[in-house]
Amino acid sequence: MATSGGQGAVSQVSTWRDAAGDLLLGSCCAGCGVKGRRLCRVCADTLRANPRPAWPEPVPPALRVPVIVPPYAGARYDGRLQHLIVAYKEEARHGLARPLAKMLADVVASALQIVVGPGPVALVPMPSAPGAVRRRGHD
């Protein structure tokens, strides 16, 4: 899309697209509410994975057995990240799927790097409450 302008041209197109979305649809950032973008740069930076082992409290039964790879999280589930995930799941802001999936992929790749030797790998999703699944129509 960009030619001689490089990143500047791409950024300008993105800015115009976001401004048009705000004008037509009243778009705002799902993480912080700033007008004009569905995901502002500050909130997008929040999605840069900082993978680390993260044991849930209480520990679910499936994780009470010895594990080769501990549970990993990309970041603390609070603040902007929490707003982004809630917007995706509860407000049908499905335009966030790609950046959230990128963060998840980075976390999985980091966790797999610590695996020594062969063994099964299990991704354990955090399940939604049955009522929430019925209300949203998806998990």
Exposed e or buried b for every residue in 39-68, given b needs 16+ CB within 10 A?
bbeebbebbebebeeeeeeeeeeeeeeeee
Domain coordinates in residue numbering, the chain: 9-115
Residue 83, pLDDT > 90, answer yes
Question: What integer pLDDT is reported at residue 71 of this predicted model?
Answer: 83
- The residue that leads in pLDDT, 9 or 124, is 124
Residue 7, pLDDT > 80, answer no
